[in-house]
Structure 1
Amino acid sequence: HELFTKVLPSYNIEISFVDGTDPRKYSSAIKENTKLLYIESPANPTMSIIDIKEIATIGKENSITTMIDSTFASPYNQNPINLGIDVIIHSCTKYMSGHSDIIAGSLTSANSEYYNQAFQTLKLFGGTLSPFDSFLLARGIKTLDVRMERHNKNGLEIAKFLESHDKIAKVYYPGLESHPQYEIAKKQMSGYGGMIAFEVKGGVSEGQKVIENLNTIVLAVSLGGVESLVEQASTMTHTMVPREERMKGGITDGLIRFSVGIESASDLKNDLNQALQLI
């Protein structure tokens, strides 16, 4: 958010924000100087799903580059290049490395032109990964498929558990039929990952009470590691985003983001249940 609202404008780069769940709004927002259509799906932290193929088509029809942040899905669950996207970016800190011990990112494209442009920027501005972090990332990728299978299984099981719990007001997970973009997710994802968003009945204070009384699940930011992490977006990861903008984007004050790890699903459900019983 700060990159788009503060950093890029300082380079005289104009940014237009749209509701990504409606591809028509991307079309209507295109201007003569538009160079890039950027999306994130699943979106952080609301778990909204964007029709990737539709955005790719809009980009091609208007000769505009398309880019997606596909971190929440991981390459195991989603391949945007096969859906027509030009460039994929990942926070490799998350699922790609899988152990919450490095800071890294990647850019992937089937077009060497984008790679060459990125390499020139990297060469001039820095950001090169250290040898040891490169080793840790390469090692983590070796177990990506095994980890993601467990994240997918646990994610769906925990999402269903939360949706049926009487202390939960709402659950956002693309693998649930109740998700507003479930049909789109089913079409473009092979699995739904371990990221869940939910709201506790009673609002902010009750939600805080729940996440502060978990034992197995750790109260912390970041995501995509083998351990389960939980946080309240409005007071942690998204606290710098003005409330009006947060609410407009669906990030309510009480929204809780849950990165489901690879622990026993029973242990996670028991931990959630004991914390929920305190409210």
Structure 2
Amino acid sequence: RCLGGVILAKDRKYASEVIHPFLRNTGPTISPFNSWLLLKGMETLELRVQAQSAAGFQVAEFLENHPKVAQVLYPLLPSHPQYDLVRKQMTGGGNMLSIFLKGGKTEAFNLLNGLRMVMISNNLGDSKSLITHPATTTHSKLTDEEKVAARIEPGLLRLSVGLEDPQDIIEDLDRALAEA
């Protein structure tokens, strides 16, 4: 519901000469209401992250086995390029998935248009499941070469799995894929 954070610097000189003057001139304090929102959100953060990670894993497993899906990037899938490292460092995989569809942009747009519960959005990371097509939204200003380097392909979708029942998310994706 709001954005807040902390600025850290390894170098004291950089902190005193660059960060401190910037904060002094721009104001480092968030509003009381945003502070309250952050504190309220922190109360359930662990529960939400655990639930969304568990659901993300279930959705990733489903999608990885779907015939219209070329690849799913999700840290806890054994097919992930850094799976061994992930298993050493992480206990959960989070709620973000990259889905590469075999049918390219046409199939990606057909899937998006067929969704009923998962919402299309340019911003990801909510309590609701959201999906985006990076090549035409978040990364649309990149050159073709930059898109290739970042693997922003026409058939790529990014899915942020929310707190809905994972089976409902899977059913929505399955129906939309069948229609795509």
- Normalised TM-score (structure 2): 0.90
1:122, CA displacement in angstroms?
1.9
> For residues 40 and 15 of structure 2, what CA distance do their matches in structure 1 show?
23
> For residues 28 and 69 of structure 2, what CA distance do their matches in structure 1 show?
42
Q: Name the residue aligned to 1:213.
A: 114
Q: Name the residue aligned to 1:253.
A: 154
Q: How many residues align?
A: 178
Q: Name the residue aligned to 1:278.
A: 179
Deviations 1:169-213 (A, max 9, x none): 110111111000111222222211000000112100111110121
Q: Are residues 188 and 119 of structure 1, via their aligned partners in 2, closer, same or farther at CA, if it must alter by over 3 Å? A: farther
1:160, CA displacement in angstroms?
0.4
Deviations 1:50-105 (A, max 9, x none): xxxxxxxxxxxxxxxxxxxxxxxxxxxxxxxxxxxxxxxxxxxxxxxxxxx32x24
Q: Name the residue aligned to 1:137.
A: 38
**SS in structure 2 opposite 1:223?**
coil
Letter matched to residue 107 of structure 1: V
- Match status 1:173 vs 2:74: yes
1:125, CA displacement in angstroms?
3.1
Residues 108 and 115 in structure 1, CA contact (< 8 A), matched pair in contact too? no
Residues 220 and 231 in structure 1, CA contact (< 8 A), matched pair in contact too? yes
Match among 129, 132, 136 for residue 231 of structure 1: 132
Residues 72 and 100 in structure 2, CA contact (< 8 A), matched pair in contact too? yes
Written as runs of structure 1 = structure 2, the 5 A alignment for 1:47-66 is none
- Match status 1:107 vs 2:6: yes
> For residues 120 and 263 of structure 1, what CA distance do their matches in structure 2 show?
44
> For residues 225 and 165 of structure 1, what CA distance do their matches in structure 2 show?
25
Q: Name the residue aligned to 1:241.
A: 142
> For residues 10 and 140 of structure 2, what CA distance do their matches in structure 1 show?
37
Q: Are residues 246 and 107 of structure 1, via their aligned partners in 2, closer, same or farther at CA, if it must alter by over 3 Å? A: farther
Match among 201, 204, 207 for residue 105 of structure 2: 204
Deviations 1:150-178 (A, max 9, x none): 01100111000000111111101111110
> For residues 28 and 131 of structure 2, what CA distance do their matches in structure 1 show?
29
- Normalised TM-score (structure 1): 0.59
**SS in structure 1 opposite 2:6?**
strand
Unaligned runs of 5+ in 2: none
Match among 244, 264, 273 for residue 165 of structure 2: 264
Please identify which structure carries the higher helix content. Answer: 2
> For residues 185 and 120 of structure 1, what CA distance do their matches in structure 2 show?
39
> For residues 246 and 226 of structure 1, what CA distance do their matches in structure 2 show?
29
RMSD: 2.0
